[in-house]
């Protein structure tokens, strides 16, 4: 059997030198047909892993270098880190081309992989020293230095996974922490009130002041952060403020590109955004037919799977391999203290949640989520084995009634 002819796919660019971009590169170099891959990354670093930044790095148990991902040593790959791409021209039958900050333009006849991820949302006053977001390696190093100086009060704005992980790292360092969240219950939209409160129970037990239904308007201070101002005008003193307000996809550079940009790069089910242009990771919005959703997924596992799939999709543009849809069961984890939280499937717009195994009191449970007549997600706290089972089960549609019957249903329905 003969393989693809060596070097027949012209030069390809990968924009974004992180998890999705790296995985795309790893996949592309497996094909002898690929002639050259140029990677552009806005950060001055080669690819590294982000999950440990808000966990081991902040706690101080890992040096940040331990997050580095193994580089791809293939001589067909050129890494341009510290180089931001400022424009893309795609479609109209021409080869896609990229515009760099120095005004130069370069054509990539083999195509472009868009893997520019997402950037944290901000607040007025966010530029003051002492105010942090945590997305990049440099962000983590900056925040860790401020925590090393033993601030008297850390205020975390936003009670999502990142905010909760930062709270846990701060508490383990012996710091005083307040967590401020706009929703009535923590994680309410994503997990439902009962599960949300169960997740923050350990924070409260360890002394975190959890304030829900509380919006923050701005960070205040003269030379550095001194307080956060709440929407009702009251203030909380703070010498370190961490903003965990979620992220927005990095698509500014794609304005006027000819692609459809709408809360991310809009792709078809195969991750194709335009002829010879694919997208992967936090930036990509695509129809996930398994869950009937057209959304982005901001998880580590998704960035890897999509990076691989998008690269294969690009090769299929050149006649190498089949065009396949990308469909997945999303999976995300979060480590807070000794607790391991995992979410498999999609809780998006769930209609009902029940604790199906264990109990919130013992901090060991699995909650199941229903949308329509189907099980759509399982959330486990300290239940790794069961969650692995649900992850496998969710690969195919599962009727809610069947899921409950199998789970030896033991809890009262709740939302
Ligand atoms: C602190 C933290 C903890 C996390 N913990 C978990 C976890 O426990 N579990 C989990 O499932 N997920 C976790 N995640 C999410 C996970 O890390 C992301 O989903 C993943 O990093 C997405 O990878 P990506 O390659 O799509 O995007 P990113 O990792 O955001 O990388 C995109 C890269 O593109 C670069 N870029 C942007 N614009 C341009 C441009 N115009 N030109 C060139 N380069 C550009 C950016 O600088 C960046 O380096 C965490 C994320 C963070 C920040």
Cβ 16 vs Cβ 114: under 8 Å: yes
Residue 303: which H helix or E strand, with range? helix 300-317
- Phi and psi at residue 141, to the nearest 5°: -65, -40
Could you tell me if the CB of 162 is within 6 A of ligand 1?
Answer: yes
- How confident is the prediction for the chain on average, in pLDDT? 95
How high is the pLDDT of residue 2? Answer: 55
DSSP string, 101-131: TTS-EEE-TTEEEE---EEE---TTTTSTTE
Instruction: Establish whether domains 12-119+248-317 and 338-406 are of one fold.
Output: no
From 82, 138, 300, the mutation candidate for ligand 1 (largest count of ligand atoms within 8 A of CB) is: 300
Could you tell me if the CB of 333 is within 6 A of ligand 1?
Answer: yes
**pLDDT class of 93 with cuts at 50, 70, 90:** confident
- Averaged over 342-358, what is the pLDDT? 97
pLDDT at 245 over 60: yes
Q: Which two tokens mark 237?
A: 């003193």
DSSP 184: S
From 50, 167, 247, 336, the mutation candidate for ligand 1 (largest count of ligand atoms within 8 A of CB) is: 50
Could you tell me if the CB of 134 is within 6 A of ligand 1?
Answer: yes
- Nearest ligand 1 atom to the CA of 85 is 42
- Nearest ligand 1 atom to the CA of 134 is 1
pLDDT at 409 over 70: no
Distance CA 83, CA 100 (A): 8
**pLDDT class of 1 with cuts at 50, 70, 90:** very low
Distance CA 205, CA 182 (A): 21
Residue 202: which H helix or E strand, with range? helix 193-205
Could you tell me if the CB of 332 is within 6 A of ligand 1?
Answer: yes
- For residue 82, the CA-to-ligand 1 centroid distance in Å is 16
- As assigned by CATH, the class of the 122-245 domain is alpha beta
With respect to CATH, is domain 12-119+248-317 assigned 3.40.190.290?
no
Could you tell me if the CB of 242 is within 6 A of ligand 1?
Answer: no
Q: Which two tokens mark 383?
A: 């239940």
Cβ 154 vs Cβ 147: under 8 Å: yes
**pLDDT class of 94 with cuts at 50, 70, 90:** confident
- Nearest ligand 1 atom to the CA of 301 is 11
pLDDT at 114 over 70: yes
Q: Which two tokens mark 76?
A: 């067909």
What's the pLDDT tens digit per position in 174-210?
A: 999 999 999 999 999 999 999 999 999 999 999 999 9
- For residue 40, the CA-to-ligand 1 centroid distance in Å is 14
Could you tell me if the CB of 251 is within 6 A of ligand 1?
Answer: no
What's the pLDDT tens digit per position in 11-53?
A: 999 999 999 999 999 999 999 999 999 999 999 999 999 999 9
Asked which of 102-106, 370-374, 405-409 is least confident by mean pLDDT, the reply is 405-409
Distance CA 96, CA 133 (A): 34
Distance CA 14, CA 273 (A): 14
Domain-wise residue ranges, the chain: 12-119+248-317, 122-245, 338-406
SS3 275: coil
Distance CA 304, CA 311 (A): 11
From 282, 336, 341, the mutation candidate for ligand 1 (largest count of ligand atoms within 8 A of CB) is: 282
How high is the pLDDT of residue 410? Answer: 45
How high is the pLDDT of residue 71? Answer: 84
- For residue 44, the CA-to-ligand 1 centroid distance in Å is 14
Residue reference for tokens 């308007």 = 217
What's the pLDDT tens digit per position in 250-283?
A: 999 999 999 999 999 999 999 999 999 999 999 9
Which one, of 124, 98, 126, 125, lies nearest residue 111 by Cα? 98
Distance CA 155, CA 124 (A): 15
CB count in 10 Å sphere of residue 32: 15
**Helices vs strands, H then E, count in the chain:** 9, 28
pLDDT at 413 over 60: no
What's the pLDDT tens digit per position in 367-387?
A: 999 999 999 999 999 999 999
Which one, of 57, 52, 29, 49, lies nearest residue 117 by Cα? 49
- Nearest ligand 1 atom to the CA of 299 is 19
- For residue 360, the CA-to-ligand 1 centroid distance in Å is 31
- Nearest ligand 1 atom to the CA of 45 is 49
- Averaged over 339-366, what is the pLDDT? 96
- For residue 119, the CA-to-ligand 1 centroid distance in Å is 8
Could you tell me if the CB of 115 is within 6 A of ligand 1?
Answer: yes
Distance CA 112, CA 90 (A): 9
- For residue 113, the CA-to-ligand 1 centroid distance in Å is 15
Distance CA 251, CA 97 (A): 16
Could you tell me if the CB of 20 is within 6 A of ligand 1?
Answer: yes
- Averaged over 214-218, what is the pLDDT? 94
* 54 exposure class (CB count in 10 Å sphere: 0-12, 13-18, 19+): buried
Cβ 376 vs Cβ 345: under 8 Å: yes
pLDDT at 411 over 70: no
What's the pLDDT tens digit per position in 47-81?
A: 999 999 999 999 999 999 999 999 898 999 999 99
Which one, of 335, 310, 258, 259, lies nearest residue 61 by Cα? 335
How high is the pLDDT of residue 217? Answer: 94
How high is the pLDDT of residue 3? Answer: 62
How high is the pLDDT of residue 243? Answer: 97
Give the pairing of strands 247-249 and 118-120.
antiparallel
How high is the pLDDT of residue 6? Answer: 82
Helices within 318-393 (DSSP H only): 384-393
Q: What percent of the chain has pLDDT over 70?
A: 97
Q: What percent of the chain has pLDDT over 90?
A: 93
- As assigned by CATH, the class of the 338-406 domain is alpha beta
Q: Which residues pair with 281 in a beta bridge?
A: none
């Amino acid at each position: 059997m003969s393989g693809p002819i060596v070097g027949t796919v012209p030069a390809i660019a990968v924009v974004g030198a992180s998890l999705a971009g790296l995985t795309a590169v790893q996949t592309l170099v497996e094909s002898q047909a690929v002639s050259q891959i140029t990677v552009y990354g806005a950060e001055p670093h080669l690819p590294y892993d982000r999950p440990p930044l808000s966990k081991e790095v902040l706690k101080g148990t890992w040096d940040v270098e331990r997050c580095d991902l193994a580089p791809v040593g293939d001589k067909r790959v050129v890494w341009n880190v510290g180089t931001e791409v400022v424009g893309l021209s795609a479609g109209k039958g021409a080869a896609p081309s990229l515009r760099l900050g120095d005004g130069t333009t370069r054509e990539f006849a083999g195509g472009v992989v868009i893997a520019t991820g997402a950037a944290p949302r901000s607040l007025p006053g966010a530029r003051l020293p002492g105010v942090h977001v945590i997305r990049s390696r440099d962000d983590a190093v900056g925040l860790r230095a401020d925590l090393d100086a033993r601030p008297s009060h850390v205020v975390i704005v936003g009670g999502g996974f990142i905010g909760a992980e930062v709270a846990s790292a701060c508490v383990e360092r012996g710091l005083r922490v307040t967590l401020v969240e706009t929703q009535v219950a923590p994680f309410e939209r994503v997990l439902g009130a009962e599960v949300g409160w169960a997740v923050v129970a350990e924070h409260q037990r360890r002394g975190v002041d959890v304030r829900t239904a509380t919006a923050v308007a701005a960070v205040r201070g003269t030379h550095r952060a001194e307080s956060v101002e709440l929407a009702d005008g009251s203030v909380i003193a703070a010498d370190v403020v961490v903003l965990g307000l979620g992220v927005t996809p990095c698509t500014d550079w794609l304005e006027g590109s000819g692609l459809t940009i709408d809360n991310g790069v809009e792709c078809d089910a195969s991750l194709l955004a335009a002829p010879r242009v694919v997208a992967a990771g936090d930036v990509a919005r695509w129809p996930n037919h398994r869950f009937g959703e057209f959304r982005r997924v901001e998880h580590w596992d998704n960035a890897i799977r999509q990076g691989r799939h998008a690269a294969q999709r690009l090769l299929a543009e050149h006649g190498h391999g089949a065009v396949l849809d990308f469909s997945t069961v999303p999976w995300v984890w979060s480590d807070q203290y000794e607790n391991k939280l995992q979410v498999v499937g999609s809780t998006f717009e769930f209609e009902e949640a029940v604790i199906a195994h264990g109990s919130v009191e013992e901090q060991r449970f699995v909650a199941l989520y229903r949308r329509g007549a189907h099980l759509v997600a399982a959330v486990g706290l300290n239940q790794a084995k069961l969650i692995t089972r649900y992850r496998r089960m969710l690969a195919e549609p599962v009727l809610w009634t069947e899921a409950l019957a199998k789970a030896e249903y033991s809890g009262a329905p709740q939302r």
